[in-house]
Structure 1
Amino acid sequence: MSTSFGRGRVAGLPEWDRCAVMGVVNVTPDSFSDGGRWFDTERAVKHGLDLASRGADLIDVGGESTRPGAPRVDEAEELRRVVPVVRALAAEGLVVSVDTMRAAVAEQSLAAGALLVNDVSGGLADPAMIPAVAAAGAPFVVMHWRGFSDAMNSRAVYTDVVGEVTDELRTRIDAAVDGGIAPDRIVVDPGLGFAKEAPHDLALVAHLDRLRALGHPLLVAASRKRFLGRVLAGPDAAPPPARERDAATAAISALSAQAGAWAVRVHDVRPTADAVRVARAVEAAR
């Protein structure tokens, strides 16, 4: 397929001629948007298959909530939640990503059939992560991160959020490459909502071109996040619940696709699958 639109190709993954859609499967009791709905293994697998049928190109399986203030789950429990779901979805022929900050979970998920490791800490939470991903030869998502969920809100302090996030991502990219991960297997993610307030998130979405200038495919994960609730509510009203932010999420997906994002990560797949296809059609008509 063509890459003439410059989204970048990730070695080890399929190639799409448009912005890809990553569907989220939270195997957790406490996710901010759908906690508990897919906590059972069988239900999580069914949900992943349903997301694929609705247009997801990749399925991102995670067993640890990273909502602000969330406590960490222990490694054994994360493995129990994640690995059976990864194995079952991979066995169905789906492209599976594992959303984890732990090297052991990444290693066992890759062995079970996952093709991509999506680490919200960019390799900072577990020093063994980058060596493990490098040894496996797997693609790796490097996200901008300033600490665990219990403390990240206090770290949302920036003078120039776009410049600082770009610089901090560059440092993590260098660490990944120095640790043995091939540059053509690195994806970058600005970490919307992680140690960021709504104006920071909006500034990053407005300047995705500067993040793409890092030279790696870009993943944008805005789905149902707080900044969308703030935008929808306006200055005085209470933000709508997370599950009422899917139309706003699709708007960000279209904008991200137009800006050249490699993929967008979303909970409700169908509106975003439609949005990225429309963005691709408009792009092709230029």
Structure 2
Amino acid sequence: MYPKDTKKTLNCRGRLVDLTTPAVMGILNVTPDSFYAGSRVSPTTNSTSVHTDQAVAAAERMLADGATFLDVGGYSTRPGAAEVSAGEEADRVLPIIEAILTNFPDALLSVDTFRASVARQAVNAGAVLVNDVAGGTLDDAMFGTVAGLGVPYVLMHLRGNPQTMQSLASYDNLVTDVIDELGVRVAALRALGQKDIILDPGFGFAKTPMHNFQLLRQLDAFRVFDEPLLVGISRKTTIWKTLQITADQALNGTTVLNTAALLNGAAILRVHDVREAAEAVILIEHIKKS
């Protein structure tokens, strides 16, 4: 019933993270336009302190609710998202990373970026993981940068960019094509000496809702890589359009699909709602051990 074991540890700058029990990654978007308002930490005034205070409070809540990682992003990657310069992206995320680590020095922070320069600055500021929605396709320097930094890297499947990706959601065989395209990127990373790779099939990125359901159903096919799998389907269009609700109403649907992901081998759930995801992990672990 359950997929075979894959790699279960990550070396996060000298700290070994055990994924024997799946981990939860909380989403912290430092953006004005990410698709789900509940994930945004945007200033309501011109005060930087207000901005960072909001982020620290959100971080505290997610850590208390059971997050292993906090994923800080400064560039919305929803379909049709506006372009943001590398400088502005760095200006958004670096103060937040520094503020969270000042208050929670043991927190494991991920930076959600497809730019090598932002990744480097974030790791230098204390991030221990790079989450790249483009899988290195939008910045040729990313693979060499992350390999040199020596931190785990989330390799997500994407075609095109946030502005064009939905026009490229055409596949001969979805699962095979995604695996083949990720395989090329994994080989390139390995050639550069990258040790820890986490694979993300890219739910919602150059994928239709039907594609997302198919990927979820066949998630265990990705065990061919023997690498941990990250699933990020929280409150996405696939859920709320299928149920004819809104993203604000998609928590229950998210929990259902996160449960399916856990049963099919997910090692990390990237979510807006940490407590509910952490509870799903606990219950599924009890089922597996029963």
TM-score by length of 2: 0.90
**Structure 1 position 28 matched with structure 2 position 39:** no
Contact 1:223 1:267 in 2 (8 A): yes
Q: Aligned-pair distance for 1:262?
A: 1.0
The verdict on how the C-alpha distance between 1:109 and 1:147 changes in structure 2, with shifts beyond 3 A counting, is same
Structure 2: give runs of 5+ residues left out of the alignment.
Answer: 43-50
| Residue of 273, 276, 280 corresponding to 1:275 | 280
Q: Which residue of 2 aligns with 1:236?
A: none
Q: Which amino acid aligns with 2:91?
A: R
**Cα distance in structure 1, aligned partners of 2:77 and 2:21:** 28
**Cα distance in structure 1, aligned partners of 2:170 and 2:155:** 20
Q: Which residue of 1 aligns with 2:45?
A: none
Query: Which secondary structure does the structure 2 equivalent of 1:135 belong to?
Result: helix
**Cα distance in structure 2, aligned partners of 1:111 and 1:84:** 12
Q: Which residue of 1 aligns with 2:58?
A: 47
1:222-250 CA deviation, whole Å, 9 max, x = no partner? 001111113312xxxxxx21121111111
**Cα distance in structure 1, aligned partners of 2:30 and 2:270:** 16
**Cα distance in structure 2, aligned partners of 1:186 and 1:164:** 19
Contact 2:27 2:39 in 1 (8 A): no
**Structure 1 position 71 matched with structure 2 position 85:** no
* Equivalent residues in 2 for 1:67-216, closer than 5 Å: 67-91=78-102, 92=104, 93-182=106-195, 185-216=196-227
Q: Which amino acid aligns with 1:68?
A: P
Q: Aligned-pair distance for 1:173?
A: 0.8
Contact 1:24 1:265 in 2 (8 A): yes
Q: Which residue of 1 aligns with 2:264?
A: 259
**Cα distance in structure 2, aligned partners of 1:144 and 1:41:** 31
The verdict on how the C-alpha distance between 1:7 and 1:132 changes in structure 2, with shifts beyond 3 A counting, is closer
1:240-276 CA deviation, whole Å, 9 max, x = no partner? 2112111111112212112221101000111111011
Contact 1:26 1:34 in 2 (8 A): no
Contact 1:116 1:138 in 2 (8 A): yes
Q: Which residue of 1 aligns with 2:17?
A: 14
Q: Which amino acid aligns with 2:18?
A: E
Contact 2:217 2:264 in 1 (8 A): no
Comparing 154-163 with 199-208, greater Cα deviation is found at 154-163
Contact 2:8 2:20 in 1 (8 A): no
Q: Aligned-pair distance for 1:37?
A: 4.0
**Cα distance in structure 1, aligned partners of 2:198 and 2:8:** 9
**Cα distance in structure 1, aligned partners of 2:193 and 2:82:** 31
Contact 1:29 1:35 in 2 (8 A): no
| Identical columns (%) | 41
Contact 1:10 1:217 in 2 (8 A): no
**Cα distance in structure 2, aligned partners of 1:213 and 1:249:** 26
Q: Which residue of 1 aligns with 2:251?
A: 246
TM-score by length of 1: 0.92
Q: Aligned-pair distance for 1:41?
A: 2.6
**Cα distance in structure 1, aligned partners of 2:59 and 2:115:** 22
Contact 2:55 2:100 in 1 (8 A): no
Cα RMSD after superposing both structures? 1.5
